[in-house]
Structure 1
Amino acid sequence: MKRALHAEWTKARTVPGTGWLLLAVLTLTVLVSALAAGTADCTAAGCRQDVARTALTGIYVGQAVVAVLAVLTISGEYSSGMIRTTLTAVPRRHVVLTAKALVLTGLVLATGAVTVAGCLVTARLLVPISLTDGSVLRAAAGSVLYLALIALLSLGAATAVRDSAAAVAVVLGLLYALPLVAQLVTDQDWQRRLQRVEPMTAGLGVQATVDVGALPLPPWAGLGVLAAWAAAALLGGGLLLRGRDA
């Protein structure tokens, strides 16, 4: 495992696209969050919306870049043919996938922490938000974990389908198309059931700091739904990686 981790870390820091994508996550997320905070409806008496969630709006956009980064972590090797070299150097395929997942998770957690902090500090200049409030800290920590889980979900999907474009389409469809489908459902009970299993809707519930009881699931339970999606994707991708030719 140590050799596999070293190899994956070397790839991550020597491939030019990794740094640019991580920078894009940071820049795009903070920018969108700042724009959202700047348009918040707030007065001296307070705000009419969940300011913490507004301050973290950029996560909706930044997660797409995280998905692309995660997909390229393995699909890029399939497109270049380097996957054969990787699997020759480390024949145990589950070790390869585990090493990729660990390095990717570390990078996204570090970038996510800086990004979320940037969103909240920027928002503090525009809207009244307490950076020491327990619910705000939960929203912040949950958002960082959310990005890491999106990365693992995307890595699993890319391992399963191997093609970059197809994997990105699958992940973005799960994140952005499923909520639209739920909105088209007229039956309120069924709509709520769908919202409970959607990876984005359930997962981003962790950002809520007001009207938490109105969420389809409690904040941490919603993040658990996303974790289940990520685990299922990694398990499925790992089984396919193990059972077929490179």
Structure 2
Amino acid sequence: MRYALHAEWTKLRTTRGTGQLLLLAIVLTVALGAGTAKAVTCPDLGCGEDGVRLPLTGIVLGQAVVAIAAVLTVSGEYATGMIHTSFAAVPRRITVLTAKAAVLAATVAAAGTAAVLACLLAGRYFLPGNGFTEAHGYPPLSLADGPTLRAAFGSVLYLVLIALLSLGVATAVREAASAIGIVLGLLYLFPLVTHVVTDPAWQRRLAQVAPMTAGLAVQATTGLDHLPIGPWAGLGVLAGWTAAALLAGGVLLHRRDA
């Protein structure tokens, strides 16, 4: 495993496209989060906005780039034939997949932490000028606050789970365009279907099982009683999707030819 981890880290570190995509994910996440924090105002007491969630809005966009980067870590090797070299060096394919998952998770966690902290700093800077003040019930954003810390940590974990979900799908599908289409469809089409459905009960059920809607519930710090699913339970739903994707990818990787 140690050799496999070193090999996967070397491949990830020396593949320029992956690093550029993760950097782009950070930039887009912070840009959208800061823009949202700067644009939304709270003129009155109890304006109903979630002051912590606003600057973390950029996760909705950044996750797409993270997913693409994760898919390419597998599909890129299949496209170039490098996967044969990987399996020749480490014959146990599940070990290769485990090493890929571990290295990818650590890298995305580092990138996600940088993005989330930058978003919260932007929120701390912009929100008070837009009326999100203590007088309106919004203390300055601080990781010393339990709900804020949970939203921040949960957002990083959310990005890691999205990356691992994408890795599992890419391992099962192999082809980049198909894998990216499946992952982005799971993330963005579920919420669209939820809005199309008119039955409130079914809207709630779909929101409870949709990977993005359920997973991002971890960012909520207000109105928790009105959420379709609780913060940690929602992240658990995403973890279930991720585990299923990795299991499917692992089984197919083990059974079929490279």
**TM > 0.5:** yes
Please give the alpha-carbon distance, in whole angstroms, between the structure 1 residues aligned to 2:194 and 2:141: 33
1:3 is matched with which residue? Answer: 3
1:95 is matched with which residue? Answer: 95
1:130 is matched with which residue? Answer: 141
TM-score by length of 2: 0.93
Please give the alpha-carbon distance, in whole angstroms, between the structure 2 residues aligned to 1:8 and 1:237: 17
Report matched runs for 1:1-246 at 5 Å.
1-43=1-43, 45=45, 47-128=47-128, 129-131=140-142, 132-246=144-258
Paired residue secondary structure (1:52): coil
Please give the alpha-carbon distance, in whole angstroms, between the structure 2 residues aligned to 1:150 and 1:237: 15
1:47 positional shift: 4.6
Q: Which moved more, 1:127-136 or 1:195-204?
A: 127-136
1:19 positional shift: 1.5
Q: Which runs of 5+ in 1 are unaligned?
A: none
Q: Which amino acid aligns with 2:206?
A: L
Percent identity over paired residues? 61
Total equivalences in the alignment:
246
CA RMSD of aligned residues (A): 1.0
1:43 positional shift: 3.0
Once the two structures are superposed, what CA deviation does each residue of 1:32-90 show, in whole Å capped at 9, x if it has no partner? 00110111122374653111111100000000000001001111000111111111111
TM-score by length of 1: 0.98
Please give the alpha-carbon distance, in whole angstroms, between the structure 1 residues aligned to 2:3 and 2:111: 24
Paired residue secondary structure (1:117): helix
1:183 positional shift: 1.1
Q: Which runs of 5+ in 2 are unaligned?
A: 129-139
Please give the alpha-carbon distance, in whole angstroms, between the structure 1 residues aligned to 2:208 and 2:102: 28
Please give the alpha-carbon distance, in whole angstroms, between the structure 2 residues aligned to 1:222 and 1:44: 31
